[in-house]
Chain A
Amino acid sequence: MNIRNLISYGLLILILGLVQILFLKNLAVFGHAFGFVYLLGLLILPSTIRTIPLMLIAFCLGFILDVFFETIGMHTAAATLFAFLKPIWLKAASPTGGFDEAEEPSLGQIGFGRYISYAFPLLFVYALAFFIADQWGIGGFFGVLSKSFFSALFTLILTLVVQLLFFSRKRGI
């Protein structure tokens, strides 16, 4: 990963974080589906980044978001879990040959079907962890489950829209 990529990833995460904090804080479609669009920044980080730095990045991102959202610890816990599972899931879901070293798991690189099958389960796990922490002791099991499902779906749609609109097909960002 060269310095140019590093800067563009940093910029992407910064912009997604700002969008998340400024616009998506009190937005919930039908009071049910939350958008966690900042996860796109973690999703498309190249597979060369190892678990430990990835987890540290996710922990910091989740924590910053928590301070703004007044939900201390919830996004942090969910994002750390997300980062821990991402490399494992990527390895399990990748073709037998494995990904190329430099390949990033974004829509333009791995295609529509594989992107969805890679991103959706991770987003669902993230949402599930978040809502379990949020609804601890009050929400019913099915309430948490349906909120997680629709939030994961909504987030997936948001990440698809962002990638289709702003990413060029060839180069990733």
Chain B
Amino acid sequence: MLRILEFLYRVRAFLLFAFLEFLAIWMIVANNSPQGAAFFNSSNELVGNALKKQADVVQFFSLADANVALVDENASLKQELLRLQVKPDSISLAIDSTLKATFELKGARVVANSLRFSQNYLTLYKGAKDGIKPGMGVFNAQGIVGRVKSVSENYSVAFSVLNTSLLISAKIKSSEVFGSVQWDGGNTSEVQLLYVPRHVKATKGDTVITSGFNAVFPEGLLIGQISKVEVNKKDPNYLAITVKLSTDFSKLTYVYLVENTQFQEIDSLYRQSDLINEY
């Protein structure tokens, strides 16, 4: 017995090493499962504050760019508004509930963003206090950005599209063929469009948009343009399509968050019929 204890005492450094490594690997696994709750991340109040201070300084230098983007967007929204305004000699009728808005938008500031890993996340300066919930879609004027993962009082953490564990339901605009967009961990300006069958004619330059089949993004948000079409080497029944992202992930300052007000209803319907909802 004493021998065993002596032996254990002699290898105590290795035992502690094994224990700490086990702890670290457990954290990696727990954090990387999309459904698993994250215990520690930058939505933490202290860390969020530090990151925000950094962003305050860094983003000061890109204020001009951010302003130009906002003005451009304002102009296009004004134009849309003029088109939609009711003419004096016409009346508007509330026809039925299908025309009711099912998506609500909120704006938020990006305080941290990473590009260099294979699992990239954004930290946003808006949290549960402002009505942000896990699962909301994130986009900006250029295109889609990601999906909210977890939320604290004032901050939230979102999966970036540049995160290999995020799948987004997409379609090719011209042919209405749908598939899923996923990043392969390589080039930060390109994603792959998966599950498009081989008989489909996809050409370089076609626009890829969100499909609206999932309950996260509304239909028609821009994802990017097709830059390369090949036959999938692993599974020849499908095409391997490379899409050039329209969003510049190195210059994110402000984003919009979108919430589907009917998410609960759609989600419970999916659950009833035992379908797994992809995002």
Interface flags, B21-62, vs A, CB<8A=1, else 0: 101111111110000001111101001001100100000000
A80 & B20 in contact (Cβ 8 Å cutoff) = yes
Given contacts A76-B27, A77-B28, A135-B185, contact A71 B117 (CB under 8 A): yes
Q: Contact flags (1/0) for B119-151 with A, using CB distance below 8 Å?
A: 111010000000000000000000000000000
A67 at the interface (CB under 8 A from B): yes
Interface residues on B, range: 35 or more
> Do B50 and A74 touch (CB < 8 A)?
no
Q: How many A-B residue pairs have CB under 8 A?
A: 99
Bound-state CA distance A26–B188 (Å) is 12
Contact pick for B16, options A22, A55, A71, A138, CB 8 Å: A55
Bound complex: CA A71 to CA B121 (Å): 9
Query: Per-residue 0/1 for B1-31: is the Cβ within 8 Å of any A Cβ (1 yes, 0 no)?
Result: 0000000000011101100110111111111
B181 at the interface (CB under 8 A from A): no
A112 within 8 A of B: no
- A1 on the B face (CB < 8 A): no
Counting CB contacts under 8 A, is B66 at the interface?
no
CB contact list, A77-91 vs B, under 8 A: 77, 80-81, 84
- Per CB-CB distance, the 10 closest pairs between chain A and chain B, nearest first, are A73-B28, A73-B27, A77-B24, A72-B31, A70-B121, A76-B24, A51-B13, A138-B185, A84-B17, A80-B20
Please give the residue numbers on chain A whose beta carbons come within 8 Å of chain B beta carbons, in ascending order: 21-22, 25-26, 28, 31, 34, 50-52, 55-56, 59, 62-63, 66-74, 76-77, 80-81, 84, 133-135, 138-139
Not counting A28-B116, A70-B119, A72-B40, a sample of 20 additional A-B residue pairs whose C-beta atoms are within 8 angstroms of each other reads: A51-B17, A52-B12, A56-B16, A59-B23, A67-B40, A67-B47, A68-B112, A71-B119, A72-B28, A73-B24, A73-B31, A76-B20, A76-B23, A77-B21, A80-B17, A80-B20, A84-B13, A133-B28, A139-B118, A139-B185
